[in-house]
Amino acid sequence: MQRAEAVAIGAARWIRGAAVDDARGRHWRANPDPDGRSAAPGQESSLYSGAAGIVLFFLELAAATGHESYLEDATAGADYLAASWREIRDPSLYHGLTGIAFALAEAGWATGQERFSAAAREVADQVVRSVRKFDDGIGWTGDPAQRGDGGVILGLLHAAGILGVSEYEEVAVEAGERIAQLVVPGHRFGVETPDLPMDAVTPGFLSGTSGTGFLLARLYGVTRDDRFLAAARRGADFVRTISAVSDKCALVPHHVPQARALHYLGFCSGSAGVARMFYELYRVTGDPGDLDWVERLARGIVNSGVPWRRTEGYWDVACQCCGAAGLLELFVGLWAATGNDAHLEMAGAIADDLIERSTQNGGYRWYQAYRRLRPGEVTADTGYLVGAAGIGAALLHLGAAREGGSCRRVILLPDNPFPAIPVPMSQL
């Protein structure tokens, strides 16, 4: 057994200790420590930090190990999602209904149980019914970023394929047309994030230009409508313009105009997420200039001293959202896309550092300062984008890449453009 897989199993052991069973099924406490606080509280069902993300991790662990007990964990969690989703109003991918639909659809695919696929369709139907009309088109939150309407659209595109409902794609494309009208698909945090100035604009992924550009590139790949490609290019050009570029490296500011020298490296607001936009553009257009920018961003991460050196944009954080696990996903994905062994070696170094940083007590967990500006808030979460489930999944993806001759599908979220079978495309 590989070390990465063994640690993922250890993470599952700790997560199992946080299980809560009731008449609806099983969910997991976000932070099972005595009096423990979660990095993202109040989301028992979400993809970000709740049951939906943990279901995905157990589905992957069952596929990686062949142990039916992990499939039982995933099934119990999917039962909870199917029974409880009507209590949720948030339509979003990471925190709401669209993420639950994604997890249920994957559970139906992996287990062969139609009841989960049927529940996924019910949830997706509710998302479609909840669409709102704006002066310039349709949407849900009015926010074009991945944390808002962008994530909903991505989830509906995935649901259209895996569940076989063409209406989901039709609604997604129409909602995307509204976003494509923006001069530059960016986002202002405004009053929602008091840590940032009112006029701050972020080029990052979850709440900024790169995530929206990724969405528009995805819509171009689906429709071949040049309006989407033109809008995605506007976003990519903006990111290029504001980035710090030197010696074939690139670093992206966290927000402008105030923090041009603050370079996050992770998925949510840094290079690992921005690289996804450029790779999606390369995937749908074949333009080598886009792949060059993916490599520039990856080289910028490497040259920063990751994983051993902590920087202002790469602090004591391990999770998928803003930490080491998100970088691990990037370098495994890049290896699968290019076959460049240097990317797999980098992924291995990041994984080794993650494993060394873990706490072993009843399984594996990772204590981290999730919020950079609050370094004293150190927590260990069970969830996917904020905790052990997502770290375990990233380690499983590395294990799948290292398996060599065998190929197995891994579960990638709709915002991940890299190959879902982690073998270099040149070998397939």
> Is residue 52 assigned to a domain?
no
Distances (CA, A) of 97 to 85, 128, 231: 7, 11, 27
* Phi, then psi, of 27 in degrees rounded to 5: -130, 180
Helix H or strand E segment including 138: strand 137-139
Expressed in angstroms, the distance from the first to the final Cα of the chain is 25
> Is residue 234 assigned to a domain?
yes
CA torsion 113→119→121→124, rounded to 10°? Answer: -140
Q: How many CA atoms lie within 13 A of 373 on its CB side?
A: 5
Query: What gap in Å lies between CA 423 and CA 335, rounded to an integer?
Result: 8
* Phi, then psi, of 81 in degrees rounded to 5: -60, -45
> Is residue 318 assigned to a domain?
no
> Is residue 243 assigned to a domain?
yes
Domain count, the chain: 1
> Is residue 233 assigned to a domain?
yes
> Per-residue pLDDT for the chain (428 aa), expressed as one digit of tens each?
689 999 999 999 999 999 999 999 999 999 998 887 888 888 999 999 999 999 999 999 999 999 999 999 999 999 999 999 999 999 999 999 999 999 999 999 999 999 999 999 999 999 999 999 999 999 999 999 999 999 999 999 999 999 999 999 999 999 999 999 986 655 554 445 556 777 778 899 998 999 999 999 999 999 999 999 999 999 999 999 999 998 899 999 998 888 889 999 999 999 999 999 999 999 999 999 999 999 999 999 999 999 999 999 999 999 999 999 999 999 999 999 999 999 999 999 999 999 999 999 889 999 999 888 788 889 999 999 999 999 999 999 999 999 866 678 899 999 999 998 887 766 65
Q: How many CA atoms lie within 13 A of 221 on its CB side?
A: 18
**Closest Cα to residue 359, out of 2, 5, 33?**
33
Handedness of CA 144, 149, 153, 155 (dihedral sign): positive
> Is residue 291 assigned to a domain?
yes
> Is residue 103 assigned to a domain?
no
**Closest Cα to residue 147, out of 222, 181, 96?**
96
CA torsion 327→332→337→343, rounded to 10°? Answer: 80
Which domain covers residue 278, as residue numbers? 197-299
**How crowded is residue 112: how many other Cβ atoms within 10 Å of its Cβ?**
9
